[in-house]
Structure 1
Amino acid sequence: GELTDGQEARTIVNIGLNAMLLFGAFIAIFVGVGLVSKEIEKRTVYAIFSKPVGRGEFIVGKYLGLCATLLANIVVMGAGVSLALLYVGASGLALSIWPAILLIFLELMILTAAAIVFSSFSSPALSALLTFFIFIIGHLSTTLRELGQTLGTGAAKFILDAIYFAFPIFSLFSFRTESANGLVPNAALIGGGFLYAAAYITILLTISITIFSRRNFK
Structure 2
Amino acid sequence: MRLDDHLNMRQALASEHRKPGARPTRASLRNYPAGTTIFDVESHLSRVLFIESGWTISSKTMSNGTRIVTDFFLHGDVLSAASTSMSHETVHAVSDVTCYEFQGQMSGAGNDGGSQLPLIMTIELMKRHARIAERLASIGRRDAFGRTGHLLLELAIRAGNASRPGLNGFECPLKQSEIGDALGLSTVHINRVLKEMRLGGLLSFRNGIVEFLNRRKLMELVDFDPSYLTGSSQDNTSLQEMEQP
TM-score, scaled relative to structure 1? 0.32
Higher alpha-carbon Rg: 1
User: Which has the higher relative contact order, 1 or 2, with Cα contacts under 8 A spaced 6 or more apart?
Assistant: 1
